[in-house]
A and B are shown apart, each in its own frame.
Chain A
Amino acid sequence: MTWLDQEIEKLKASSKDYKDRALLHVLHLYLKETQKRIDDAKGQLDGQMWSPRDW
């Protein structure tokens, strides 16, 4: 379990509000997608830096 997983589960467990738990669940999905986009963008930048065509 990552830090993020633990943090989300901790907040969900302490929340009495159904809407808050829903928000935390969606936020968890959103953050995973954000990390994926960050990794993709970094990969794309790396690829462009090492592309002879772009030198």
Chain B
Amino acid sequence: MKTLILNAHPNPGNSHTQQFLYEALGGQATYVDLSQEDPEVSHLKDYDRIIFQFPLYWYGAPARLKDWLDQKLTGKEGFLAGKDLGLVVAFDTPEKDYGAGAKNRYTVSEMLRPYEMLANFFGMDYLPPFSLFQWRYLSPEEQWEALVAYRLYVLGPKRPSFAQKGAWLLQELAHIEGSQLLSSYLSDQLDELADLNDLLKGEQA
């Protein structure tokens, strides 16, 4: 699977969060900084998954993304059919501020509806947005978890089940030197859980 990330931060080099996300990729996706580049829409057809990545500015993306969409995104309905559209959004505010009855009243999903409509127009599969809240306040362990979750979102199976996440982790583990014992253990655990779940389904039928 080929992933394209379109980063709409006005100056990602000056952002700790964007630098963190960039390093997390390990060069495994095509990364475009929209403040420096102006890709053509036809370029999008080369990819399976397209990610709009940006910090939240006044409940939307920075102007650069809207500029690029307005100028470049001319296309027929269904032009990008079958491809995924994902959003990676960095927040300077806490998660608790989004939702019914919360400070900002609406959920993140509701706030980002225009992108879902865009995906629908172009025949794309719109993925649940990936939100990263206040990265600088995360503990080291939480940052590790955010890094892996980001890689899974950008590079891994979409809407992964627990088992699919395990299979993806097994793949990722393969390149760590000396991890064969751990890989074998993970594989055995996944098989055992799958067998037990099959038995349970059989018992309940």
Interface residues of A (CB under 8 A from B): 4, 7-8, 10-11, 14-15, 18-27, 29-31, 33-35, 37-38, 41-42, 44-45, 48, 54
Instruction: Tell me if A18 and B23 are in contact (CB < 8 A).
Output: yes
Instruction: Tell me if A22 and B147 are in contact (CB < 8 A).
Output: yes
Instruction: Tell me if B165 and A19 are in contact (CB < 8 A).
Output: no
Q: In the complex, what distance in Å separates the CA atom of A15 from the CA atom of B145?
A: 17
Scan B12-28; emit 1 where CB is below 8 A from any A CB, else 0. Answer: 00000000000110100
B102 at interface (Cβ–Cβ under 8 A)? no
Q: In the complex, what distance in Å separates the CA atom of A42 from the CA atom of B195?
A: 11
The 26 sampled A-B contact pairs (Cβ below 8 Å) are: A7-B181, A10-B178, A11-B176, A11-B182, A15-B176, A19-B24, A20-B176, A22-B144, A23-B148, A23-B169, A24-B176, A25-B148, A26-B145, A26-B148, A26-B149, A27-B169, A27-B182, A30-B169, A34-B186, A34-B189, A34-B190, A35-B189, A38-B192, A38-B193, A41-B196, A45-B199
B70 at interface (Cβ–Cβ under 8 A)? no
Q: Which residue of B lies closest to A44 (CB)?
A: B200
5 tightest A-B contacts by CB? A22-B144, A41-B196, A26-B148, A22-B147, A25-B144
Q: Which residues of B contact A25 (CB under 8 A)?
A: 141, 144-145, 148
For the complex formed, measure the closest distance between the CB of B144 and the CB atoms of chain A, giving whole angstroms. Answer: 4
Q: Which residues of A contact B173 (CB under 8 A)?
A: 23, 27
Q: Which residue of B lies closest to A51 (CB)?
A: B203
- Is the interface on chain B under 10, 10 to 19, 20 to 34, or 35 or more residues? 20 to 34
B166 at interface (Cβ–Cβ under 8 A)? yes
Q: Which residues of B contact A45 (CB under 8 A)?
A: 196, 199-200, 203
Given contacts A19-B147, A21-B144, A41-B196, contact A34 B182 (CB under 8 A): no
Instruction: Tell me if A27 and B186 are in contact (CB < 8 A).
Output: yes
Given contacts A38-B192, A44-B200, contact A11 B186 (CB under 8 A): no
Q: Which residues of A contact B162 (CB under 8 A)?
A: 33, 37
Instruction: Tell me if B26 and A19 are in contact (CB < 8 A).
Output: yes
For the complex formed, measure the closest distance between the CB of B23 and the CB atoms of chain A, giving whole angstroms. Answer: 7
B30 at interface (Cβ–Cβ under 8 A)? no
Q: Which residues of A contact B192 (CB under 8 A)?
A: 38
Task: Choose among A20, A22, A31, A42 the residue that contacts B189 (Cβ–Cβ < 8 A).
Answer: A31
